[in-house]
Amino acid sequence: MEISSFLHLDDYAFAPDSDPSFISFSNAKKRPRFDNDSSLEDVLTNLLAFDAVAAEDKPSENAYFSSAPPQQSSFMMNSTSNYNQSTTPNSSPSRASPQPKRPRAESSPISDDSSVASGRRLWVKSRSKEWWEQVDSPNYPEEEFKKDFRMSKATFDMICHELEPAVNKKDTMLRSAIPVRQRVAVCIWRLATGEALREVSKRFGLGISTCHKLVLEVCTAIRTFLMPKFIQWPDEKRMHQIKTEFELFSGIPNIGGSIYTTHIPIIAPKERAAAYFNKRHTERNQKTSYSVTVQGVVDQKGVLTDISIGYPGSMSDDQVLEKSSLSQRASRGALKNTWIAGNSSLPLTEWVLVPYSHQNLTWAQHAYNEKMGEVQWVASESFMRLKGRWSCLRKRTEMKLQDLPVVLGACCVLHNICEMRGEGLSQELKFELFDDEMAIENSVRSVYALHTRDQIAHKLLHHEAAATAFLL
C-alpha cells in the first residue's frame, strides 16, 4: 500500500502542510497495483473499527495516538493496516505466517586446533613446584638426594633413561606434558617414604589423582621393562658362581640361593577378608592384621633372583612355596643338584634345605644350624634393606588389591638396582623384621634330603675349615 494514496486532509485533524517535517510522497514512483491489494475503503473501515475499540479499552493510548506527530501517526496507521490484513481470511499469500525456525544443530566437541584458534584455555589449579625444581637442580646436595630417594643421582638418571620410552608423554594443545624425571620422582618418592598422596601432591605441585596415576604408570613400566632385566634366574655359569660363594663362607655345598617370605600389611578387604588375615602374632604385632606375602630368593650378595608376590596373608610359608613359580621350576628339573636354603617354617625336600628344628640336637646338628643361620641371614638382611628403602611396604596401604602386585614388584626391581649398583642404606633406615614363622618341627618330605642333611652336618663338624664358634 502506498502512503500517498490515502491521505485525504478532510478526514484527519492535522494538516500536513502545517508541519515542515512532513514529507510528501506524491511525486514518488508508484508501485503497480495488483488485484489482491486492499482498497482504500477497506483500510479506512478497519482503521476506524480499531480506533473505536481502542478508545473504549484504553483511552490513554487513544489520547496519545491523536496527539502524536504526523510522521508517527502515519506510521501507526500503516502498521495497523498491515496487522488487519494479516488477520483477514482474504489476506495475501505474501502475508502468510512465518515458517518455524530451524532448530540449532548441536555443537560438536571442539578440537584442539579450534580451541586454540578461538582462544579457549584449560583451567588448571596453580600449584607450586618450587620443592621439586630445587631437588632437580644440579646444585642439590648428593647426600640429601640420596636420603630423599634412597639412591644416588646417577642411579636415578639411569632409571629415568631406561623408562623414558615407556613413560614419556607428548605436549598437547592445552597443556605441557609432565617431564619424565618428575614422573619417575613422584613414584620413587611415594615408594620410599610412604607419604600420603595429598602431601606428595603438594610437594611436587601436581594434582592428587595425577600423582596416583603416575605411581601406577611408572610401577607398571618398571615391571614391564626393568623386571626382566634386573630380576633373572641365574644361568648355569652364574649359578656355579653363587654356589661357590655360599660354600666359601658357610661350608655347605650346592646352595643356589636363600629364600625368605615376608608380609605386607593391607587394609582389610571387603571381600574374602578371612583369606588375608595374618595369623602371625609377635611381640610387635599383637593386633588383628591383614596382609599379602612376598617370597623371594636371593644370591650371596642379597640380589633377588626369584620373587612370588600377592598370596593372601593367611597362607603359611610352605603353602606359598608350593604355589610359587620356584616350585614349578623345581618340578621341571631346573633345580637339580641345587639347594635353596630356607628357615624352619619350610619343609625339607629334595631341593629345599632347612635347619634342624627338633629338641636335643647333637653337636653336628648344632654346627649345621649355625652355618645355615648364616646363609639364611643373607636373605633376611636383604629383605630388611628392601623394607628399609621402601617405607610403603611397612605401612598399611590404601591401594587396591589388584594394583598391589605391580607396586610390590616395582619395589623389588628398584631394590635390585640399588643392590647391584652398591647403593648403601643408612643406619637410620635399617628395619628389623618381625614376621619369621617358627615351626615346632618342620616336616620331612624326602628321605634322600634327610640323609643328605645329616651327611652335611657330619662334615661340617669334623672339617677344620668348618669349625664353628659354638665349639670354641
Task: Copy the grid coordinates of residue 393.
Answer: 611396604
Residue 108 has pLDDT above 60, yes or no: no
Q: Do 156 and 60 reside in the same domain of the chain?
A: no
- Residue 125's pLDDT is what? 60
Task: Copy the grid coordinates of residue 76.
Answer: 501507526
| Residue count of the chain | 472
- Summarize the confidence of residues 451-468 as an average pLDDT: 77
- Indicate the pLDDT class of residue 175, thresholds 50, 70 and 90: confident
- Summarize the confidence of residues 216-244 as an average pLDDT: 97
- Residue 382's pLDDT is what? 96
Contact 383, 293 (CB under 8 A): no
Q: Do 215 and 265 reside in the same domain of the chain?
A: no
The domain total for the chain is 3
Q: Do 12 and 48 reside in the same domain of the chain?
A: yes
Residue 130 has pLDDT above 60, yes or no: yes
If residue 80 lies in a helix (H) or strand (E), which one and from where to where?
A: helix 70-87
- Residue 453's pLDDT is what? 94
CA–CA separation, 32 and 35 (whole Å): 10
CA-wise closest residue to 176 among 215, 219, 196, 205: 205
Query: Can you list the alpha helix ranges (DSSP code H) found in 150-303?
Result: 153-167, 180-193, 197-204, 208-221, 227-230, 236-250
The answer to whether the Cα torsion of 54, 58, 63, 68 is positive or negative is negative
Domain containing residue 146 = 128-228
Is there a domain that residue 114 lies in?
no
> Which residue, of 207, 228, 249, is where some domain finishes?
228
Is there a domain that residue 89 lies in?
no
> Which residue, of 228, 259, 293, is where some domain finishes?
228
Of the candidate ranges 10-19, 229-238, 249-258, the one whose mean pLDDT is the lowest: 10-19
CA–CA separation, 440 and 62 (whole Å): 114
Is there a domain that residue 140 lies in?
yes
- Summarize the confidence of residues 60-70 as an average pLDDT: 43
> Which residue, of 196, 228, 260, is where some domain finishes?
228
**Using one digit for the tens of pLDDT, what is the confidence trace for 349-393?**
999 999 998 888 999 999 999 999 999 999 999 999 999 999 999
The Cα angle at residue 345 between residues 339 and 347, in degrees rounded to 5: 50
User: What percentage of residues in the chain have a pLDDT greater than 90?
Assistant: 57
Task: Copy the grid coordinates of residue 246.
Answer: 655360599
- Indicate the pLDDT class of residue 62, thresholds 50, 70 and 90: very low
**Using one digit for the tens of pLDDT, what is the confidence trace for 277-299?**
987 754 455 567 899 999 999 99
Query: Can you list the alpha helix ranges (DSSP code H) found in 303-362?
Result: 317-323, 325-331
The residue type found at 281 is H
